[in-house]
Structure 1
Amino acid sequence: MDASPSPFDAAFWLTAAAILCLLVMSAFFSGSETALTAASRAKLKTQADKGSSGAKAAMKVTEDNERMIGALLLGNNVVNILSASLATALLTRAFGDSGVALATLGMTALVLIFGEVLPKTFAITNPELVAVRVSPVIRVLILVFSPIVSVVRQLVRGLLYLFGVRTDPDSHILALREEIMGAIALGHSEGAVEKEDRDRLLGALDLSHRTVEEIMRHRSQIEMINAEHSPDVIISQALASPHTRIPLFRGEHENVVGVIHAKDLLREVNRLMREPGGTVEGLDILKVAMKPYFVPETTPLDEQMRQFLKRRTHFALVVDEYGALRGLITLEDIIEEIVGEISDEFDIAQDVTLKRAENGDYLVEGAMTIRDLNRMMDWQLPDDEANTVAGLVIHEAQMIPSEGQAFSFHGFRFEVVSRKENRLMKLKLRAL
């Protein structure tokens, strides 16, 4: 009787070698998926601009994440299932029915360690390096698997549609701003970004999401000149003003007829005084004044800044939907939203808008904007419904509070310290 053939023949070792190759492919797919999803597109773009072909390929591959991940998952699942099937057949032949259990335990350990954890750990440690190396191969695999991935993608989208989930192909573009803002905030919390740098960067990113109405100087605070006054009065008022540009009105403040620039006024006065027997009484203020520039209160700040630069002007009057004057805005106001308060030698010294009492309360000017308060104190008071601290209190209280009244909301206690007519002048704040 012939001896039974040994299970460890050439076929056994060929199958074992095939399983080993499949594990290497599984590691490649797992590491590639992690690297390409974790790699920073900003860093890849920098490398691509420097001439890296691998970075250009990685940028191309990651443009369609859904397609890329579909191809990688398809390849990874195929090699994992095939390797498990071969291992089961191999060990069943060698050890009988117990080979199924041995194959399950052995392949689970091998796939977990060498096919998942090890390559993913290496890839997450060097995402850009791995992405640059693997992207040329992944591009070819995506083309090969594209028909199958397209069918699977449509099937998945159809199933999600049945459950009310809609996929947005531009969602990664829309989330870019939030990703940058989150990275800046995280860098500040970890000490890598200074508070002033964080405020400047976030201020620049916020311009497109904020409107002129939020930062304009209210009409009650606008200094204006009556065009019907005598030239002496107009010149005296212009010289006494700390502002370079001053609106002119006739009859009532709503009727703005022009904007006078101090330099243009002085040039005209100089011209009149140089004439034989010239006096300032012949000054025609409307002849010197510039045409007023009106903007809607809903204009985004980034758009308004572009208009200022395009029109080569720094001053605009803000109107509401009915054309009524609401306030004014300057290019400096917009820049201050990025770099902070800008003062020169002609600015009138302002009282400190935030003082801390001995008991820990903060004494705040009612006209202080919520945004400035949040930036100064690193608070998170909402500014969706109101621009100023006083406006926030009035909005939450649904009334104009009296002196001494106190309210608690958004984690703070607000107490009205002083009120002038319908304006809340000073308030006390304390964190609860």
Structure 2
Amino acid sequence: MTPLTLLAAAATAQTPEPVAEGSLSFDPTLWLTAGAIVVLLALSAFFSGSETALTASSRAKLRARADRGDAGAKAALDVTEDSERLIGSILLGNNVVNILSASLATALFTKMLGSGGVAMATLVMTVLVLIFSEVLPKTYAILAPEDMASRVAPPIRLVTSILSPIVSVVRLLVRGILVLFGKRTDDDGNVFSVQEEIAGALAIGHSSGAVQKEERDLLLGALDLGDRAVEEIMLHRSRIEMIDGDLPPQDILEMVLKSSHTRLPVYRGERENVIGVLHAKDLLRAVSRAMREIGPEALDKFDVLSVAMPPYFVPDTTPLDEQMREFLSRHTHFALVVDEYGSLRGLITLEDILEEIVGEITDEHDIDAMQSLVPSDTGDYSIDGAMTIRDLNRALDWNLPDEEANTIAGLVIHMAQSIPTPGQVFSFHGYRFEVVARRENRVTRLRIRPLAELSPANGESSEDQ
């Protein structure tokens, strides 16, 4: 309610003669009007507090209460399902009681004070509505939104049902007006998805210190699995350690023993022709059993492919959450990735997907890539070109874009629109990239640092060199 509302209501009322001072206490109409104004102010406070409580309450907390048998919390969940109808009903009810209270106050003060009652009604009602019908109930609601939402949900549900026809007409009018301005609303869409709400809450918690970086990265990693594809985290085929199935059994056994990997793809003829996956334990058990039964000469005639598992191929566009479920249902941890033409693109393991959630997983046979993420005296980070942009962002809390490329080298090549040579320096996205090493057509090592850390004395510019 605004002073303009009060003045508009007052303009429609006739200005009676002021009541004699002695007759005020004996006029029941004045007391009934004053009592009605108090009731209307209480209703306005109820609508204002209910709006704040129902919109600010956490649906997760309300769901937990409803699961424990809280009928009010269940009603709050039901009434907030259609937020547009809820807000429309509350605003309609609040405006009706505010305008009605303003009209009654104008009539009351005009009867008491004459023409000067309009200004007095405006002043008094503005103070009363502001303090007792807006600030006070909303402040109380924001202190314990779930408690208040559980209490006000049943009556608000009744009000919403009663006012639903009027709100539907208003909604149609509003949408018609929005269409004239080229805006359309989606009945089934939400302004924010659940994932975006959680991500926003984690960002706020991290900035305030309530959520640690490791906890934020873990939860965001789990939320992002459905939005990321296998091709984004797979090991590229150029880096896959493979075994030629035509080699002698002694050579294959020696390669398996020297490898740090448990599972190795076996190919025949060319690397694209993968015919099996060899598990180190299966091979060692079979070789040990053959040597016990036949003797040392059994190794010369041993058929390595007899213990190899059939290869498991997956499309490169498979979402990570779906692939993780497939690994669990198939009881396997290893898959070869192919493109739409069936060509080998890389491999992915269950560990790769888990690392997207919990971070780098290393053991005594792994080279800890995070050891290289230590700044030099000049503030540069020496980065492997094959390191993914996502891993670098998570490790150093940077914000390099990963829409156009998956790896750091790929990002530099994309931005440079060429394959750079060692010594070239580029500056983009707020970071300085220096190419350190290149092998054939692959950028293998870079030095990176934020441009903000460059001192003016260095004379570096933000343009490509």
Number of the residue aligned with 1:287: 306
TM-score, L = length of structure 2: 0.89
Number of the residue aligned with 2:37: 19
Aligned residues: 430
Task: Please give the root-mean-square deviation of Cα atoms over the aligned residues, in Å.
Answer: 1.7
Alignment of 1:310-389 (within 5 A): 310-348=329-367, 352-389=371-408
SS at structure 1 position matched to 2:23: coil
1:62 is aligned to 2:86: no
1:6 is aligned to 2:23: yes
1:86 is aligned to 2:112: no
Is this contact kept in 2: 1:30–1:120, CA < 8 A?
yes
Q: Which amino acid aligns with 2:350?
A: L
CA drift of 1:6 comes to: 2.9
Number of the residue aligned with 1:274: 292
Is this contact kept in 2: 1:362–1:430, CA < 8 A?
yes
**Matched residues in 2 for 1:281 and 1:68: separation?**
79
Q: Which amino acid aligns with 2:55?
A: T
**For residues 112 and 174 of structure 1, do their structure 2 counterparts lie closer, same or farther at Cα, with a shift above 3 Å needed?**
closer
**Matched residues in 2 for 1:388 and 1:380: separation?**
14
Q: Which amino acid aligns with 1:6?
A: S
Q: Which amino acid aligns with 1:399?
A: S
Runs (5+) with no aligned partner, structure 2: 1-18, 452-465
CA drift of 1:239 comes to: 1.5
Runs (5+) with no aligned partner, structure 1: none
**For residues 276 and 362 of structure 1, do their structure 2 counterparts lie closer, same or farther at Cα, with a shift above 3 Å needed?**
closer
Number of the residue aligned with 2:236: 218
Number of the residue aligned with 1:393: 412
SS at structure 2 position matched to 1:317: strand
CA drift of 1:350 comes to: 5.5
Q: Which amino acid aligns with 2:392?
A: L
2:63 to 45, 65, 89: 45
Number of the residue aligned with 2:5: none
1:408 to 427, 430, 450: 427
SS at structure 1 position matched to 2:360: coil
SS at structure 2 position matched to 1:192: coil
**Matched residues in 2 for 1:111 and 1:245: separation?**
73
**For residues 76 and 39 of structure 1, do their structure 2 counterparts lie closer, same or farther at Cα, with a shift above 3 Å needed?**
same
Q: Which amino acid aligns with 1:354?
A: L
Number of the residue aligned with 2:119: 101
**For residues 174 and 13 of structure 1, do their structure 2 counterparts lie closer, same or farther at Cα, with a shift above 3 Å needed?**
closer
1:147 is aligned to 2:165: yes
SS at structure 2 position matched to 1:418: strand
Q: Which amino acid aligns with 1:413?
A: R
1:29 is aligned to 2:59: no
1:110 is aligned to 2:110: no
Deviation readout 1:102-128 (Å, 9 max, x if unpaired): 111211111111111111111111111
Is this contact kept in 2: 1:315–1:328, CA < 8 A?
yes
Once the two structures are overlaid, the 10-residue window that deviates more, 345-354 or 329-338, is: 345-354
Deviation readout 1:219-268 (Å, 9 max, x if unpaired): 11111111111111111111211111100000111111111111221232
CA drift of 1:168 comes to: 2.2
Deviation readout 1:277-314 (Å, 9 max, x if unpaired): 56122322222111111111111111110111111110
